[in-house]
Structure 1
Amino acid sequence: MSSAKERRTSNQITIPTITTSQSTPQTPREQKKKKILFKCALTNTISDVLTNREGWAQTQGDDWQFFWVTREWMTTCYDKHKFTEKQLICHFRNDFELTRKDFLIKNYKKARKAKEKSGVDVATEFNFIPSSYVLPAEYHLFVEEFRKYPTDTIWIMKPVAGAQGKGIFLFRKLKHVQEWKKKDSSGSEALPYVVQSYIHNPYLVGGKKFDVRIYVLVTSFRPMNAWVHREGFARFSHSRYSTESVDDAFVHLTNVAVAKTAADYDPERGLKWSLPKLFRFFKSMHGQSKVSKTMNDLAKVIIESLKSVQNLIIQDTHCFELYGYDILFDENLKPWLLEVNASPSLTASSQEDFELKYRVLNHMIDVLDIEKKWVARYRSQL
């Protein structure tokens, strides 16, 4: 492998880059020596991983074997693209069945109903998403449910396709939803949202709420082949938890994009913990037996959520997906699924964050085992 030097991005993250052949266009002969040709539509950590992977070379043509595509490419190009035997992309065609909040809820409820019909006690065996409704379609069902709860119950509203905490708000009174439900002055319908009962008893560390990002690689839905990466991270809210105010995003939301808007935000201050560190903390507080049960429950959440869409996702051997699962633990260490991301952020907020994401992505490619599968085929054709 050619020698490398270090460069720094604008946010002072040290990234290794190849300084020889990567800096100049390669001839077809040089590219063949590299054997694995890739394209990458992003310029963050995944680009660095692919650029620095031994035996890989970037191409601007259609002769790629690995393409890190965007959602826009999936929408506009996937159906028209004629895949060769050795081409692989990073999304399934209809991954929204799992990753759009309204579809996630719909498929969860369908799977839960099927479990209940088969005799499963769903209250204990299949209960990992809070009570949820898709608005405006299920508005009247939500109102019926709302009136069953105490008047001080907190609910949370999320846009079905939102990200980075945008559009999320909490409320206690039905009038806030009624105002949202009204048509705007142009007469257009309200945008679809998911409303959920708010998990009022989150596990707190240092008085702060947090959620956990877990990376799950799926290479096939039929048969189901999935891997959970050991590394992930916990994201802490900027401010200490309290239910006195439902309007303070710094208290209730853990998104880095939200925390960055705080006047005193410092990316190195410690708003993230690694997943191993979090579970070591859990073990010190609750013992190995309790933590082992929590980890088993967490694995079940991931497995059951994937199974709920197993027969819906369009199976394609040219596709894989790295999902970002967002999990919240309550005070009893019960895991609750908040959402699943088809395009989890690969932009690093700190040096530690970059190194973690770099390892996750590098290990992902190891699991895909592209070199062994395709280089062997290439050599057999020589």
Structure 2
Amino acid sequence: MIPFSNGFGMYGQLKQAINNKPPRQLTFCTDFDKTIVINTFIDRGWKQVEPTEAWNLYWANTSNCRSIFNVGNGVSLNDYQLINHFPKHYELVRKDLLVRNIKKYRKELEKEGNPLAEKCEVIQGNHKITRYLHLDFIPVTYGLPSDYNLFVEEYRRYPNSKWILKPTSKSQGEGIFLINNLSRLKKWSRESRNYLHHRFTNKDSYVISRYIDNPLLIGGKKFDLRIYVLVTSFRPLKAYMFRQGFCRFCAMKYDTSVAELDNVYVHLTNVSVQKRGVDYNRLHGGKLGMQNLKLYLEGTRGREVTERLFREIQWLIVHSLKAVAPVIANDRHCFECYGYDIIIDADLKPWLIEVNSSPSMTPTTRNDGILKRKLLENMLSVILPPNGIPDARWRKTPNDRALGDFELLIDETRLCTEDS
């Protein structure tokens, strides 16, 4: 497929294609050579075309989506066209912006006197700290280099804690590492000075977060949850959660010793990292279905606490979306499927680690392929009207049958109706 960066300069062609009449046959285009994506559309009878031709649905990469919505390009989508990203999706998926928006959201609720922003005092180590009672679902996080002094203050209060450093705009575990002392961070900073100067002058940055060092373990191994969340509108907010999420396990048993601090196969759950290890199981891909996790927790912790855990997971998803809703550029042509990464600690408290705008549609196992195919099919059933023809004027209110394995998280249009 033709990337905008190589030819859209060819914006005239794109504009021409968009100004054309609707294609007689339903059409799609994609920037990805992903079999699951392509076959899902083809099996529905859709025809694959180029982005410069008349299309009904564009499964785009994020940069091409931003290019389409760039005001200077003079492109305006028709009612019969849908695209799979919101223009300012990065307000949710960039690690630094996600944290900034959640902090701002909490402060605004606090200023309003909203009970959701209630605080409480807890003992942490030898210190008494104040934290949010209901909205404490992201680890303590600072941006680097801008918040370096604030981070140092926090580190000195808790000198025995571990921290995890991540590039804000990278994915799949790239560039992530752990530190347990300031000298290690300073050493990294010195060695990376030229690189950092280049990165920061290009408006990139890093985040450093307190490491969740008491994760819930199964079979002695650390895992996180990958949950798919479909958003069809940010204002009003409409979001759905796919019931068939899964756990992603580390291949090696969890070990908090300093000797294993750099061992990615102990600490990082990303499949792209784990599949490079000799202990990676290619049969099940280091994955466990969410329903099996629920059964395990009900058997070991009880049904009541398990149900509370999953209510809290839904809570944090909804409020992370509410935090970014005011700054996301909402557009009726857009929908987006986000990959939420959540870690559960030993006390069964969920922590939001990050959100992905383009969760992988490449299957790692046969079962993974089945799951992702179902995810795509269900997604199309939710975003398309009952007649199956894309229409941006449709209010995206699917019936229960169309939802399939999606469950409604929030629909603010219903809330308004119920309140009136």
TM-score for both structures, normalised by structure 1: 0.85
Q: Distance in 2 between matches of 1:324 and 1:265?
A: 22
Give how far 1:132 is off.
0.3
Give the direction of change, closer, same or farther, for the CA distance of 1:375–1:128 in structure 2 (3 Å limit): closer
Q: Distance in 2 between matches of 1:218 and 1:311?
A: 14
SS in 2 for 1:211: strand
Give how far 1:187 is off.
8.3
Q: Which residue of 2 aligns with 1:341?
A: 356
Q: Say which of 167, 171, 175 aligns to 1:167.
A: 175
Q: Which residue of 2 aligns with 1:58?
A: 48
Deviation readout 1:19-56 (Å, 9 max, x if unpaired)? xxxxxxxxxxxx73xx4211122122212211212x42
Q: Say which of 296, 310, 326 aligns to 2:311.
A: 296
Which shifted more, 191-200 or 302-311? 191-200
Give how far 1:370 is off.
4.3
Q: Distance in 2 between matches of 1:311 and 1:93?
A: 13
Q: 2:343, 2:351 within 8 Å by CA — same for their partners in 1? A: yes
Give how far 1:371 is off.
5.5
Aligned residues: 343
Pair 1:148-2:157 in alignment? yes
Q: Distance in 2 between matches of 1:234 and 1:328?
A: 9
Q: Which residue of 1 aligns with 2:32?
A: 42
Q: Which residue of 2 aligns with 1:89?
A: 83
Q: Distance in 1 between matches of 2:356 and 2:61?
A: 13
Give how far 1:111 is off.
1.2
Amino acid in the other structure paired with 2:32: L
Give the direction of change, closer, same or farther, for the CA distance of 1:185–1:313 in structure 2 (3 Å limit): closer
Q: Distance in 2 between matches of 1:284 and 1:164?
A: 32
Q: Distance in 2 between matches of 1:264 and 1:78?
A: 44
Q: Which residue of 1 aligns with 2:253?
A: 240
Amino acid in the other structure paired with 2:166: K
Q: Which residue of 1 aligns with 2:125?
A: none
Q: 2:384, 2:390 within 8 Å by CA — same for their partners in 1? A: no
- Calculate the aligned-residue CA RMSD, in Å: 1.9
Give how far 1:124 is off.
1.7
Q: Say which of 201, 205, 228 aligns to 2:241.
A: 228
Give how far 1:74 is off.
2.0
Q: 2:37, 2:361 within 8 Å by CA — same for their partners in 1? A: yes
Give the direction of change, closer, same or farther, for the CA distance of 1:266–1:292 in structure 2 (3 Å limit): closer
Give how far 1:57 is off.
2.2
Where structure 1 has 5 or more consecutive residues not aligned to the other structure, the ranges are 1-30, 378-382
- The correspondence of residues 284-363 of structure 1 with structure 2, limited to 5 A, is 284-363=299-378
Q: 2:28, 2:46 within 8 Å by CA — same for their partners in 1? A: yes
Identity percentage of aligned residues: 39
Q: Distance in 2 between matches of 1:255 and 1:71?
A: 21
Pair 1:209-2:222 in alignment? yes
Deviation readout 1:190-224 (Å, 9 max, x if unpaired)? 65111000011100000000001000000000000
SS in 1 for 2:243: strand
Give how far 1:288 is off.
1.3
Give the direction of change, closer, same or farther, for the CA distance of 1:346–1:376 in structure 2 (3 Å limit): closer
Give how far 1:91 is off.
0.3
Amino acid in the other structure paired with 2:93: T
Which shifted more, 310-319 or 281-290? 281-290
Amino acid in the other structure paired with 1:193: Y
SS in 1 for 2:143: strand
- The correspondence of residues 7-86 of structure 1 with structure 2, limited to 5 A, is 32=24, 35-44=25-34, 45-53=36-44, 55-60=45-50, 61-79=52-70, 80=73, 81-86=75-80
Q: Distance in 2 between matches of 1:165 and 1:376?
A: 37
Where structure 2 has 5 or more consecutive residues not aligned to the other structure, the ranges are 1-22, 120-131, 393-420
Q: 1:184, 1:190 within 8 Å by CA — same for their partners in 2? A: no
Q: Distance in 2 between matches of 1:226 and 1:185?
A: 42
Q: 2:80, 2:390 within 8 Å by CA — same for their partners in 1? A: no
Q: Which residue of 2 aligns with 1:5?
A: none
Q: Say which of 118, 126, 129 aligns to 1:121.
A: 118
Q: Distance in 2 between matches of 1:158 and 1:289?
A: 35
- The correspondence of residues 269-288 of structure 1 with structure 2, limited to 5 A, is 269=284, 271-288=286-303
Pair 1:180-2:174 in alignment? no
Give how far 1:373 is off.
6.2
Which shifted more, 86-95 or 175-184? 175-184
Pair 1:132-2:179 in alignment? no
